[in-house]
Amino acid sequence: MSEVVSEKVGSPPAAPPAEPRATASRPRRNRIKIAATAVLVLFLVLLPILVGSEVAYLKVAQYILIGAVGGIGLTLLVGQAGQLSLAHPFFLLVGAVSYAVLAGDPEESDDLVGLGLPPLLALVGAIVICGLIGLAFAPVAGRLRGIYLGVASLSLVFLGLWLGQSLEAFTGGTSSGRTPPTFELFGFPFSNAEPSPTLFGVAIEKQQRLWYLFLVLAAISYLLARGAVNSRIGRSWRAVRDNEAAATAMGVNVTRVKAGAFVISSAFAGLAGVMTALWLDLVKPDENEFTGSYSLTVSIAFLAIVIIGGLGSVPGAVVGAAVVFGLQQFFLLGANEFGWFADAEFGGLNAVVLSAFVYGAAVVLVVLFEPGGAAAVGRRLVARLSPSDIPSAPRGGRSTPGSEPERNDDDPTA
Amino acid sequence: MDLATFVQLFVNGLGKGAVYALLALGFVIIFKATEVVNFAHGSLVLVGGYVVYALKDTLGWPAAALVGIVSAALAGLILERGLLANARSADHNSLALLTIGVDVIITEEIVRRVGADIPFIGDPYDSQPIQLAGVTIFRTQAIALVVGAVLITAFFLAFRFSNWGVAMRAQAENKEAAALMGIRSSRVTATAWLVAGALAGVAVLFMATQDFSGAGLGRGTHAIALIAFPAAILGGLDSTAGAIVGGLIVGVTEALTSANVDFLPFLGPEFSKSAVFLVMLVVLVIRPSGLFGTKELSRV
């Protein structure tokens, strides 16, 4: 079989076709990649069956997907487009509230605004609203750089805190919040409605349905992000990140590209917000700026996801989400199910603190020893699996030292 | 709002502003010396505060406060020597990310140790307002204003006239040239962190009080330290004078808008913090490098 044919047949759609690489080991590398991806997809699809009645594990996995969707949005903005943002929780809040308002039943309560749109439309609407607010912030984002932009974006978190508490008709207020409407797809409710279909003897109830919904949403986000990174959009992001003047000279409209990155990242965060609302079954604004679902702590957690995964790497963001969001929920699960941390010897050490220690340490170690994060580790592993491949084929765009991980590459593992 | 209320708010705001200025000055000193943005500043604040809380019953408040300031300074030094100095390959943006990781760990640990206590540590002056010609001034803020003025003056004198100040400014201007002139970069960097840590240790003595915010030592204090970010950014991250001006603007803005809530109830209780950031946004849109910051030039 000739190289050309096998390459055409075997390469996954996300692989950039134009990269000049050593072709000798490519079919083998692709086979490994396809096999690994297939195993992963199969595992994820069968997860509800594997965990069976232990739905708590499924909740952990769902939460990881929320972190993955949000993290992908942030890694595009911070890693690919080089714009530091701490505003992610604000867009999560906007997404969650928008969904609750758009889909909310108008008759449900006199105090709450609800437009009664179909949930699918509300989901799309929430994403669009977040994108538009991101666009509204673009004039500020376009003028600022680096840490100045980071702190400026922090103002959105405080704005969200204030608006969340003030606009109780939308958010439900800090005391009770409001319940987001059940998601529905063409009449199929994502709740415990009868009759529930079974799959290998496991009833597909609310949590199983939500898992599949989240899985599809995360997969779409992943593929869209990979597509963006590998296309003209991604190249213009990296050009702007590396050198604005040079990008302008190449014909890139810097203002528009920066605004576009902010809009797309906000839209991803908005989707993560809708998912958070469905996951918690509650939309409730935070009481203060440092604890809660949309607080500064979450800003930092999302940044940690992006750093641990490797700045700019889409698969890396998924790994980062598993570390940061997954561990936290896993420890919480252990605390609830098995009574971890209950003993006095832990001295008040609890799940949240322990997971913060782990991801805090992970961030420090990543910066000290592997600035490319999980993506770089994965890249090296893949290179080892196919030794004849030239490990660092020209990939372009490594002009800022240290912000090295750019990565429009394609490691299923990383 | 009558004049007495305004004066009262303004003076108390200045007192808060002096504390923000101390914190912002710490950011700026570190940034000037190393171009690293120290996200762990809030945890240096917590380290100082925690030591005071732990020791004040045994040593007495003054000695505990002194040990607290020294501890915060040492924490800054250890952070720089232990971690940042060893990551030579990383650029300053990566190092800023590293400080985020450090911040998460230290903050969680101290919040856990303090537990549900959330103590106040301004014993000698907390909750003892001064009445002066019909105006009520919080003693904490008044003392903070005096202490802040003294320390800031001392800093500027040292910055202007001492060998350390000259070395510091030389390194901020051009690191390579300064090194060639015999200025030890590592020593300048280390002292920058030491001084910034000490300033954070002083600031926390006023922050974790009833008067300042009503939030005791804990996550609340850490969040207040974050307000020093807008202060430093407002003035321009590489301007020491800007840090002072930014601190005072933030303090006064916060004090005035928090009082406005009384007759503008629709603004809600959290508006004063948002107001600080709104002011910062307006300044940044007009001057993207802050009021006194160096404009970034790009040569084509």
Q: Taking CB atoms and an 8 Å limit, are B233 and A148 in contact across chains?
A: yes
| Residues in B touching A138 (Cβ below 8 Å) | none
Over the stretch A105-129, which tens digit does the pLDDT of each residue have?
A: 887 777 788 787 888 999 999 999 9
Of B1, B8, B45, nearest in space to B23 by CA? B45
- What CATH number corresponds to the domain at position A318? 1.10.3470
Whether residue A411 lies inside any domain: the answer is no
What is the separation of C-alpha B197 from the centre of its chain, rounded to a whole number of angstroms?
A: 9
Residues ≥6 apart with Cβ < 8 Å to B87: A367, A368, B94, B95, B98
The domain in which residue A167 lies consists of: 25-385
Whether residue A97 lies inside any domain: the answer is yes
Q: Return the C-alpha torsion angle B9, B13, B16, B22, nearest 10.
A: -160
Beta pairing partners, A15: none
What is the separation of C-alpha A156 from the centre of its chain, rounded to a whole number of angstroms?
A: 19
| Residues in A touching B109 (Cβ below 8 Å) | 353, 357
Whether residue B278 lies inside any domain: the answer is yes
ipTM score for this prediction:
0.86
The domain in which residue B97 lies consists of: 3-286
Q: Which residue of B has its CA nearest to A141?
A: B285
Query: How far, CA to CA in Å, does B296 sit from each of B104, B178, B236?
Result: 31, 21, 11
Over the stretch A361-413, which tens digit does the pLDDT of each residue have?
A: 988 888 888 888 888 888 888 777 765 545 444 444 444 444 444 444 444 43
Over the stretch A237-259, which tens digit does the pLDDT of each residue have?
A: 999 999 888 998 988 999 899 99
- What CATH number corresponds to the domain at position B127? 1.10.3470
Angle, CA A94 vertex, CA A139 and CA A193 arms, to 5°: 150
Copy the structure tokens of residue A97: 């509230």
Query: What pLDDT is stored for residue A128 in this prediction?
Result: 96
Tell me how close the Cα of A165 comes to any Cα of chain B, in angstroms: 7
SS3 of A40-69: HHHHHHHHHHHHCCCHHHHHHHHHHHHHHH
Q: In this predicted model, which residue has the larger pLDDT, A180 or B65?
A: B65
Whether residue B299 lies inside any domain: the answer is no
Residues ≥6 apart with Cβ < 8 Å to A131: A263, A264, A266, A267, A270
Q: In this predicted structure, which of A19-33, A296-310, B227-241 has the lowest mean pLDDT? A: A19-33
Distance between CA atoms of residues A282 and B159, nearest Å: 53
Q: Which residue of B has its CA nearest to A148?
A: B233
Tell me how close the Cα of A387 comes to any Cα of chain B, in angstroms: 27
Of A294, A297, A368, A358, nearest in space to A331 by CA? A358
The pLDDT-based confidence of A135 (bands split at 50, 70, 90) is very high
Whether residue A13 lies inside any domain: the answer is no
Query: How far, CA to CA in Å, does A331 sit from each of A225, A286, A340, B137?
Result: 30, 23, 8, 47
Alpha helices per DSSP H over B115-184: 139-161, 163-173, 175-180
Of B87, B89, B84, nearest in space to B38 by CA? B84
Over the stretch B189-218, which tens digit does the pLDDT of each residue have?
A: 999 999 999 999 999 999 988 888 777 888
Q: Taking CB atoms and an 8 Å limit, are B104 and A356 in contact across chains?
A: yes
Whether residue B295 lies inside any domain: the answer is no
Tell me how close the Cα of A201 comes to any Cα of chain B, in angstroms: 43
Tokens 């959105």 correspond to what residue? A156
User: How many structural domains is chain A composed of?
Assistant: 1
Does residue B51 sit in helix, strand or coil? helix
Whether residue A4 lies inside any domain: the answer is no
Query: How far, CA to CA in Å, does A185 sit from each of A118, A207, A213, B220?
Result: 9, 15, 10, 43
Average per-residue pLDDT for chain B: 86
Q: Is the pLDDT of residue B51 over 90?
A: yes
